[in-house]
Amino acid sequence: MLSRQALQKLSKGTLQVIVDNSTARENVSRIANSLGWEIDIEERSEGEIRLLLTK
Amino acid sequence: MSTVLRLLTSRWGPIITGLIIGVLAPLLVKWGNPGNMGICMACFARDIAGALGLHNAGVVQYIRPEIIGGLLGSFVAALVFREFRPRTGSAPLVRFLLGMFAMFGALVFLGCPWRAYLRLSGGDLNAVFGVLGLIAGIGIGIVFLKTGYSLGRNRPAPKALGWIMPAVMILLLVFLLVEPQFGRDAAGSPAGPVFFSEKGPGAMYAPIAVSLAVGLVIGFLAQRSRFCTVGAIRDTILLRDNHLLNGVLALIVAAFVTNLILGQFNPGFNGQPVAHTDGLWNFGGMVLAGLAFTLAGGCPGRQLFLAGEGDGDAAMFFAGMLVGGGFAHTFSIASSPAGVAAFGPATIIIGLVVCIVIGLTMRTASE
């Protein structure tokens, strides 16, 4: 939800989103995808996933 | 096999899950479950509440293996795919309350969102009011989500916490199979501690092994695909994302076709199984349920499957549903096929006020 608001405010650039579970990873990826962002996923320590969104 | 498993986490996941639920639910009715009640999280939680003596409505007492299977199926899927992550701490008491009020709303309508869709696909037109109410309730919830409502984040918990709900489900399964009895009271009625209906919907059930197996399959699929009957509508309105909605539509279509084939499709308002024809409160009940589910983050099925993954907050929601299922009958809130009960409408109003207060007041505290 917050990620989408952030993505809609930015017309382009880079946004880093840190999520703590795979459901959130899928949700954020899906939203970013539908808004036309490139996604780079990095699994960090246990229970933390970093999504790098660029456009 | 691995392709199918990968499909489950794609956009096809909810559709596959919805199709399979849509076929299995009417089959469960064919095999013995009450009409249009192949799967109903609210009705089944209420039946379990009755079986455990939390209410004494003699016609709705049974330990439903679909619930046991659903949670355990999700538990297994989470373990296999390394998503078993015990966690808690996101306003559990509020979630308990939301579970209770969601249950009151659902039992005034006579069904959770799953059953609302299943009733629709069986031709029960009263469910139209229920589904409209559900959409309205979710719409109200979205207003709160947009204005900063949040129950806060959870925290990782010790592994043992995540094993509590699976253990409870195993215990329920033992109760179901052993049927412990402490003899009879002076009037000759069973004294419990576990009660099973001798007539009514609670005495209608598919064979235990079948119900359990269906529950396991659905729990497994739904854990993988994040199938959610409330998230479906929420995401469509809020995010213009219809991937969960496709799952619900698949469920309705599959259940409709299966009902047609089995001769279980009977369109109309009157004489529908375990339903009443009071349109206003069919609507009102689901407004409350839809709002409470949205504030809690998902439909009762999703809560059950999250509890299976180790989410202690979802487990609290489910506990609230069980206790609510008890109160709904002892306080004369739950409807019956004869119509709404004495305190059903008043409880809906109170529930809406409570949920709106929760929606307005629960904000993420700054740390």
Minimal CA separation from A27 to chain B, in Å:
10
The residue to which tokens 């109003």 are assigned: B349
CA distance B262 to B279: 28
| Residue among B83, B85, B243 whose CB faces A30 most closely | B243
Measured between beta carbons, the chain A residues lying within 8 angstroms of B156 are: 47
Measured between beta carbons, the chain B residues lying within 8 angstroms of A20 are: 153
Asked if residues B16 and B3 have their Cβ atoms less than 8 Å apart, the reply is: no
The complex's ipTM works out to 0.72
Minimal CA separation from A32 to chain B, in Å:
11
Tokens of B39: 């799967």
* Nearest residue of chain A to residue B153 (CA atoms): A20
Contact B85 A26 (CB under 8 A): no
Minimal CA separation from B165 to chain A, in Å:
20
Indicate the range of A24-38, B52-66, B176-190 predicted with least confidence: A24-38
The upper half-sphere exposure of residue B22, i.e. CA atoms within 13 Å in the direction of its Cβ, equals 27
Omega into B207 within 30° of 0, i.e. cis? no
Mean predicted confidence (pLDDT) in B305-320:
97
Contact B239 A4 (CB under 8 A): yes
Quote the pLDDT of residue B263. Answer: 96
Q: Which of A2, A3, A30 to mutate to test the interface with B (most CBs of B within 10 A)?
A: A30
- pLDDT tens readout for residues B3-33: 888 889 888 999 999 999 999 999 999 999 9
Contact B239 A47 (CB under 8 A): no
A21–chain B Cβ distance below 8 A for any pair: yes
| Residue among A20, A23, A30 whose CB faces B241 most closely | A30
Mean predicted confidence (pLDDT) in B277-290:
97
Instruction: Give pLDDT < 50 ranges for chain A.
Output: none
CA distance B311 to B164: 10
Quote the pLDDT of residue A45. Answer: 67
Contact B226 A4 (CB under 8 A): no
Asked if residues B60 and B203 have their Cβ atoms less than 8 Å apart, the reply is: no
A36–chain B Cβ distance below 8 A for any pair: no
Under 8 Å CB pairs connecting chains A and B tally to 19
Quote the pLDDT of residue B268. Answer: 95
Contact B238 A20 (CB under 8 A): no
Minimal CA separation from A11 to chain B, in Å:
18
For chain B, what is the mean pLDDT? Answer: 95
Asked if residues B340 and B276 have their Cβ atoms less than 8 Å apart, the reply is: yes
CA distance B271 to B268: 8
Residues 6+ apart with CB under 8 A from B333: B104, B107, B108, B327, B341, B343, B344, B347
A50–chain B Cβ distance below 8 A for any pair: no
Contact A22 B83 (CB under 8 A): yes
